[in-house]
């Protein structure tokens, strides 16, 4: 029988007016991968912040024990000294320092304050080998991809003699291949005596690697499931997370598809940092009224770049190609052109590109539509408030009031604010880039319902998503994008994960052959 390594006993944590955790108890055993799942706001991150000392001893009730000893951490330093390392969703690496420097940041290989660079590089090489990252330790963090950065974070944790590794949504920004690699690494670390707590929304990953799964809902532990063969599947976990059975993860849509409203012909765009390189190559596609069309593809296939290039040339240089709306050629050289022509783009990165976090809900929603609610440059605040209130109600944005700052909303509600902003701009063509990224199952369903409603209103919707089941569940037609090109098109009937992957593989084979030939 395995020994408990971490025991949480009756942990309760209050924020002003909100109980984030209520009497949480659970145990993590030595040498297991323990998954922590739950909707956004269920209390997963709060719990892990207690374990890692971000919330110091005394700011919560209850106690927890690490390797049998009660922990009274005052800060992260204390928890790291004990052997607990947390890797946050937003990576904490310094972009213009090298891999080796980052690994030993705060823990420098030094004698009397003078860094021993040889030792640093040698040790870094060993650690990189352990995590399976083939990079020169002197490479800058800025020059490697997110997936590799994640591995550097883990190497950094290993350098601190970690016993318990906590990963908060480690695969959120990774593609399938990188995710798999990371999960394999966790399994391997387990065999070398490193216990992991994995927080993830991606239930397929959880069921793949976790030994046990603890479900949190509304700050309470619902249950801990043993992930043995055949007993636990995704639906079972979802049911426990939301407290009810979700019969259908994708709401049905019965909308007649109308005329073509939007067409892109021969779009070619070059990389702004390397003007020789075409990132988007001769892309053509069309959208019809009331239709939801998907862009499938791997991370980095160029889907976001296509969308942003269409949206007022927000990406890239030397744009070529023609855009038609309702059969007429239109000019969209700036974002305001795009808005005027009825094109809206809901970004994949709502915090950096979608919202002004320090502003309130009302001003965020109205930001793209100020022209329509003002006269001679003066904003009609009554109208603004009324309209913003309507969107709050119709999109079910949970908030204290329209004057609440959006930075204090949950991910799902923030996403609804971004959606509200673009619905208010009243577009005919709505491009949704990863509209459900990082939001929980319940909120996802609500977003899908909103998408269906918009389609029913006759808008043409282009949906970019890295979650294939979501595309298959929502789209009438799917374009497969790979390496900046459209490699194929699938009707709803033909669309399946296998067919999408086949198209991508075939295209890559062709590319390789043409390179070889």
Which residues of the chain form contacts with other proteins (CB under 8 A)?
Answer: 15-16, 311, 314, 334-336, 338-339, 345, 347, 352-359, 363, 366-368, 370-371, 374, 377-379, 381-382, 385, 389, 400-405, 408, 421
Whichever of 379 and 494 has its CB closer to other proteins, that residue is 379
Whichever of 207 and 404 has its CB closer to other proteins, that residue is 404
Whichever of 269 and 338 has its CB closer to other proteins, that residue is 338
Whichever of 358 and 516 has its CB closer to other proteins, that residue is 358
Q: How near is the Cβ of 347 to other proteins at its closest, in Å?
A: 6
**Tokens describing residue 396:** 């079910």
Per-residue H/E/C for 486-504: EEEEEECCCCCHHHHHHHH
Whichever of 67 and 405 has its CB closer to other proteins, that residue is 405
Per-residue H/E/C for 3-56: CEEEEEEEEEEEECCEEEEEEEEEEEECCCEEEEECCCCCCHHHHHHHHCCCCC
User: Cα(354)–Cα(314) distance, rounded to whole angstroms?
Assistant: 13
Q: How near is the Cβ of 353 to other proteins at its closest, in Å?
A: 5
Q: How near is the Cβ of 405 to other proteins at its closest, in Å?
A: 7
User: Cα(120)–Cα(28) distance, rounded to whole angstroms?
Assistant: 33
**DSSP-H helix ranges across 43-175:** 44-51, 76-82, 99-103, 117-130, 146-159
Q: How near is the Cβ of 428 to other proteins at its closest, in Å?
A: 16
Q: How near is the Cβ of 17 to other proteins at its closest, in Å?
A: 9
**Tokens describing residue 432:** 């949704």
Length of the chain: 517
Whichever of 162 and 269 has its CB closer to other proteins, that residue is 269
Whichever of 402 and 490 has its CB closer to other proteins, that residue is 402
The closest alpha carbon to 214, from 413, 6, 71, 446, belongs to: 6
Q: How near is the Cβ of 368 to other proteins at its closest, in Å?
A: 5
Whichever of 15 and 117 has its CB closer to other proteins, that residue is 15
- 37: phi then psi, degrees, rounded to nearest 5: -125, 160
Question: Which residues does 401 contact at the CB level (< 8 Å), separation at least 6?
Answer: 361
DSSP letters of 120-131?
HHHHHHHHHHHT
Q: How near is the Cβ of 138 to other proteins at its closest, in Å?
A: 29
Q: How near is the Cβ of 312 to other proteins at its closest, in Å?
A: 8
DSSP H or E segment with residue 510: helix 497-516
Cβ atoms of 338 and 312 within 8 Å: the answer is yes
Whichever of 290 and 354 has its CB closer to other proteins, that residue is 354
Q: How near is the Cβ of 465 to other proteins at its closest, in Å?
A: 19
3-state SS class at 280: strand
DSSP letters of 211-240?
SEEEEEETTEEEEEEE--TTT--HHHHHHH
């Amino acid at each position: 029988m395995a020994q408990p390594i971490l025991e949480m006993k009756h942990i309760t944590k209050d924020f002003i007016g909100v109980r984030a955790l209520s009497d949480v108890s659970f145990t993590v055993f030595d040498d297991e991968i323990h998954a922590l799942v739950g909707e956004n706001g269920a209390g997963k991150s709060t719990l892990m912040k207690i374990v890692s000392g971000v919330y110091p001893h005394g700011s919560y009730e209850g106690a927890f024990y690490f390797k049998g000893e009660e922990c009274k951490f005052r800060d992260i330093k204390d928890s790291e000294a004990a052997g607990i390392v947390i890797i946050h969703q937003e990576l904490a690496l310094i972009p213009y320092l090298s891999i080796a420097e980052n690994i030993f940041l705060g823990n420098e290989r030094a004698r009397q304050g003078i860094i021993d660079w040889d030792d640093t590089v040698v040790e870094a090489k060993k650690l990189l080998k352990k995590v399976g990252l083939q990079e020169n330790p002197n490479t800058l963090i800025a020059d490697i991809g997110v997936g590799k950065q994640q591995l550097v974070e883990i190497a950094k944790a290993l350098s601190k003699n970690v016993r318990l590794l906590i990963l908060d949504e480690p695969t959120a920004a990774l593609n399938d291949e990188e995710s798999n690699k990371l999960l394999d690494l966790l399994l391997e670390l387990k065999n070398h005596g490193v216990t992991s707590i994995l927080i993830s929304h991606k239930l397929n990953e959880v069921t793949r690697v976790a030994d046990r799964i603890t479900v949190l809902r509304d700050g309470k532990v619902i249950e801990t499931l043993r992930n043995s063969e055949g007993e636990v599947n995704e639906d079972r976990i979802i049911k426990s997370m939301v407290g009810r059975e979700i019969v259908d993860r994708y709401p049905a849509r019965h909308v007649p598809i109308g005329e073509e409203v939007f067409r892109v012909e021969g779009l070619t765009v070059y990389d702004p940092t390397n003007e020789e390189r075409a990132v988007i190559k001769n892309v053509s596609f069309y959208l019809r009224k009331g239709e939801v069309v998907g862009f499938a593809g791997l991370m980095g296939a160029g889907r976001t770049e296509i969308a942003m290039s269409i949206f007022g040339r927000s990406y890239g240089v030397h744009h070529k190609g023609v855009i038609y709306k309702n059969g007429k050629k239109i000019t969209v050289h700036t974002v305001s052109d795009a808005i005027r022509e009825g094109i809206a783009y809901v970004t994949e990165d709502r915090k950096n590109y979608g919202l002004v976090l320090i502003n309130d809900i009302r001003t965020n929603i109205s930001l793209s539509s100020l022209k329509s609610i003002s006269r001679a440059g003066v904003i009609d605040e009554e109208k603004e408030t009324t309209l913003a209130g309507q969107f709050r109600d119709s999109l079910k944005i949970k908030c204290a009031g329209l004057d609440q700052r959006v930075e204090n909303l949950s991910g799902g509600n923030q996403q609804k604010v971004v959606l509200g902003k673009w619905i208010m701009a009243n577009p005919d063509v709505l491009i949704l880039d990863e509209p459900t990224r990082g939001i929980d199952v319940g909120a996802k369903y609500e977003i899908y319902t909103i998408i269906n409603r918009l389609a029913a209103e006759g808008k043409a919707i282009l949906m970019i998503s890295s979650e294939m089941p979501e595309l298959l569940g929502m789209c009438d037609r799917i374009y497969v994008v790979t390496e900046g090109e459209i490699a194929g098109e699938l009707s709803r009937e033909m669309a399946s994960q296998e067919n999408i992957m086949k198209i991508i593989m075939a295209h890559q084979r062709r590319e390789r052959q043409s390179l070889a030939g």
